[in-house]
A and B are shown apart, each in its own frame.
Chain A
């Protein structure tokens, strides 16, 4: 399997007045071509900033300060801004969480879809219009002709997200980042959008990075998962292994802390709060909240170790702990 994206020891810091926020602090993640991986974490885990770093759209005062990003055989960090512009939208695209802010309110749907096609594909206006129409049909929008002339505020949240997806797919990118694409949607609409993403991924053979905090979506959509916490990778494995045989206490705690619609069981509490990233905890970043923490966890950062083929964990104590997953 060829690796489409390889992020190695990425460091993206935000230089704020209060201090340096280490939003992404040594994240390594790779994505095989044609697969869907999940980047899971809570707020401040660095999942969105990782995607922004790959796309090189980190907002100020953020800066990529270290690491390497290889995409489709090319080194992205040495590319100029104009080279990156050519890649964004055509080779890699992103669907953001909130379609109300990611679509431009002063342009019609037609303009927002056609602009990309004119820029990247060099289509004529007429061809762009026809392609845009086809895209709207593809993402399941009824009466596409009239919707093309609508402004975003005239559409519902679910429909706006479908248009954001249509726009992301317009140039058939190799890699799609879906950054919490359904968090703002109602459950029944979320189901529609997730099904749509699955179906389109199959059809286009696209590689997808699903960024989410919802373990349900991870179980449903992804083949591999990387668990992030406080800007670092805790564990990486294929989805079934991660759920049934987690090796990191944070992964286990996360699995046991979420309620399920399918059954009830006692919820386990993860004590404490998400750490401050200006002064992250010493040693293992999870140690202040970890029920298994020992002296070494406070002093030394754990190494990235191989549990089995394709299953990696960063924990001092993974060998001795007997953790439980969810069946």
Chain B
């Protein structure tokens, strides 16, 4: 399953953002190849520790992200979506695989013996916004300190310009200059999340991993943050990996979407293609399960039996087969290939996907 996804076919940076404009291809910025992350399960005995198993958190994940593009990564809890985001930035060391950002090997730079200069350069290029703005901001630092800390580390701007730059960052996320002197506890959840976004922007990154950036916020605040992310992207042309379990917000912000199940990507396609004609039975069930805020909307909900199996001993063959309504013998034995031979650029890993092409 080591297929390179052709996401790029040249082009300029004239992208206007939003989901209407689907053709965002101006060179692949980030390539993820056969990424694997296993966590050891250990048992502590009287004489040391013994490895008793492995959690297959991320298994053979391959995708790429174009400049200015948002790739949505959806899945249920425990499917490995957050781990994928963390491993990309080397916040968790990978088990194997590679990530190429701007032609540089990310893992080589961060591993022992890697170049410290490269590692710093990569940190400036790749940033992350975390789910919970109540824990991701240091409560003892003022907003000015939080937003200028990257300048201390990266020395990217002279000290006499810090103030100006911090104010600029605050304005970018629709906050006011006087907010710089305050502490995180003086802000609401939505405002904190904007500060977290401003911090990510402080080093002028080209790629931002957004891990459930609106999940902990109230409904009326979510739209503020979603629109802010899209607006900033239009101005700065950076790329996002937007990780979420919420299929509605993923549809809203992404140009392409990848669906994860038990550590694997089972489907990856352009947003409308994926939502309007999902080819994997898991994607179909996932989309049908989301309640739609329209009273006249009628769908038949596909109710999956049972729950997600343990990633310690994932099922053989297709990992989804124990819950799949279409599973046959082949699904129990052979893992399906992840390919786009049915519909170009619509990648799916299912033996029976041909049944669902419309």
| Closest A residue to B187 using CB positions | A273
Q: CB within 8 Å of A: which of B284-298?
A: 285-297
Q: Is A269 close to B, CB under 8 A?
A: yes
In the complex the two chains form, is B223's CB within 8 Å of A42's CB?
A: no
In the complex the two chains form, is B223's CB within 8 Å of A273's CB?
A: no
With A244-B295, A270-B223 as contacts: A187 and B290 at CB distance below 8 Å: yes
A22 to chain B, nearest CB (A): 19
- Chain A residues lying within 8 Å of B218, measured Cβ to Cβ, are 42-43, 213, 274
Q: Is B77 close to A, CB under 8 A?
A: yes
Q: CB within 8 Å of B: which of A168-206?
A: 186-192, 194-195
| Closest B residue to A325 using CB positions | B295
A209 to chain B, nearest CB (A): 17
- Chain A residues lying within 8 Å of B307, measured Cβ to Cβ, are 156, 158-159, 189
Indicate which residue in B190, B291, B296, B297 contacts A273 across the interface (CB closer than 8 Å). B190
User: B293-318 vs A: 1/0 string, CB under 8 Å?
Assistant: 11111010101100110000000000
- Chain B residues lying within 8 Å of A273, measured Cβ to Cβ, are 188, 190-191, 221
In the complex the two chains form, is A264's CB within 8 Å of B252's CB?
A: yes
The answer for the CA separation of A77 and B76 in the assembled complex, in Å, is 43
With A261-B290, A269-B227, A270-B223 as contacts: A187 and B245 at CB distance below 8 Å: yes
| Closest A residue to B306 using CB positions | A142
In the complex the two chains form, is B295's CB within 8 Å of A240's CB?
A: yes
- Chain A residues lying within 8 Å of B247, measured Cβ to Cβ, are 187, 261
In the complex the two chains form, is A257's CB within 8 Å of B289's CB?
A: no
In the complex the two chains form, is B291's CB within 8 Å of A216's CB?
A: yes
Indicate which residue in A221, A264, A270 contacts B220 across the interface (CB closer than 8 Å). A270
Q: Is B109 close to A, CB under 8 A?
A: no
Q: Is B345 close to A, CB under 8 A?
A: no
- Chain B residues lying within 8 Å of A268, measured Cβ to Cβ, are 223
The answer for the CA separation of A213 and B190 in the assembled complex, in Å, is 16
Q: Is B117 close to A, CB under 8 A?
A: no
Interface centre among B191, B292, B294, B307 (most CB of A within 10 A): B294
Q: Is B132 close to A, CB under 8 A?
A: no
Q: CB within 8 Å of A: which of B7-28?
A: 18-19
With A187-B286, A262-B294 as contacts: A257 and B219 at CB distance below 8 Å: yes
With A186-B76, A195-B303, A270-B220 as contacts: A264 and B19 at CB distance below 8 Å: yes
In the complex the two chains form, is A261's CB within 8 Å of B188's CB?
A: no
Q: Is B234 close to A, CB under 8 A?
A: no
The answer for the CA separation of A247 and B288 in the assembled complex, in Å, is 30
- Chain B residues lying within 8 Å of A239, measured Cβ to Cβ, are 295
- Chain B residues lying within 8 Å of A289, measured Cβ to Cβ, are 220
- For chain B, the bracket of interface size reads 35 or more
- Chain A residues lying within 8 Å of B248, measured Cβ to Cβ, are 216, 258-261
With A187-B76, A187-B247, A187-B286 as contacts: A219 and B221 at CB distance below 8 Å: no
Q: Is B226 close to A, CB under 8 A?
A: yes
In the complex the two chains form, is A327's CB within 8 Å of B296's CB?
A: yes
Question: Chain A's interface: helix, strand, loop or mixed, by majority?
Answer: helix
The answer for the CA separation of A136 and B18 in the assembled complex, in Å, is 47
Indicate which residue in B226, B289, B296 contacts A267 across the interface (CB closer than 8 Å). B226
Q: CB within 8 Å of A: which of B233-277?
A: 245, 247-249, 251-252, 271, 275
- Chain B residues lying within 8 Å of A315, measured Cβ to Cβ, are none
Indicate which residue in B222, B286, B294 contacts A219 across the interface (CB closer than 8 Å). B294
- Chain A residues lying within 8 Å of B299, measured Cβ to Cβ, are 262
The answer for the CA separation of A270 and B190 in the assembled complex, in Å, is 12
A288 to chain B, nearest CB (A): 12
In the complex the two chains form, is A216's CB within 8 Å of B219's CB?
A: no
| Closest A residue to B19 using CB positions | A264
| Closest A residue to B218 using CB positions | A42
Interface centre among B286, B289, B295 (most CB of A within 10 A): B295
In the complex the two chains form, is B295's CB within 8 Å of A219's CB?
A: yes
In the complex the two chains form, is B219's CB within 8 Å of A254's CB?
A: yes
- Chain A residues lying within 8 Å of B293, measured Cβ to Cβ, are 214-216, 218-219, 243, 255, 258, 260, 326
The answer for the CA separation of A327 and B245 in the assembled complex, in Å, is 25
Indicate which residue in A43, A156, A220, A259 contacts B252 across the interface (CB closer than 8 Å). A259
In the complex the two chains form, is B249's CB within 8 Å of A259's CB?
A: yes
Indicate which residue in B18, B289, B292, B308 contacts A262 across the interface (CB closer than 8 Å). B292
Q: Is B60 close to A, CB under 8 A?
A: no
Q: Is A217 close to B, CB under 8 A?
A: yes
Q: CB within 8 Å of B: which of A252-290?
A: 253-255, 257-262, 264, 266-271, 273-274, 289
With A269-B224, A273-B190 as contacts: A219 and B19 at CB distance below 8 Å: no
The answer for the CA separation of A258 and B188 in the assembled complex, in Å, is 20
B165 to chain A, nearest CB (A): 26
B188 to chain A, nearest CB (A): 5
A23 to chain B, nearest CB (A): 16
The answer for the CA separation of A257 and B308 in the assembled complex, in Å, is 31
- Chain B residues lying within 8 Å of A219, measured Cβ to Cβ, are 291-295, 297
| Closest A residue to B291 using CB positions | A216
Interface centre among B221, B292, B293 (most CB of A within 10 A): B293
| Closest A residue to B299 using CB positions | A262
| Closest A residue to B190 using CB positions | A273
A318 to chain B, nearest CB (A): 20
B319 to chain A, nearest CB (A): 15
In the complex the two chains form, is B219's CB within 8 Å of A190's CB?
A: no
The answer for the CA separation of A326 and B297 in the assembled complex, in Å, is 10
- Chain B residues lying within 8 Å of A260, measured Cβ to Cβ, are 248, 251, 292-294
* A/B interface sample: 15 pairs, CB < 8 A: A42-B220, A156-B307, A187-B290, A188-B304, A189-B76, A190-B289, A215-B219, A218-B293, A239-B295, A254-B220, A255-B293, A262-B292, A264-B251, A327-B294, A327-B296
Having A43-B218, A188-B289, A259-B226, one finds 11 other A-B pairs with CB under 8 Å, namely A187-B247, A188-B76, A191-B303, A191-B304, A213-B218, A257-B222, A260-B294, A261-B275, A264-B271, A274-B220, A327-B296
Partner-A contacts on B (CB < 8 A): 18-19, 76-77, 188, 190-191, 218-224, 226-227, 245, 247-249, 251-252, 271, 275, 285-297, 299, 301, 303-304, 307-308
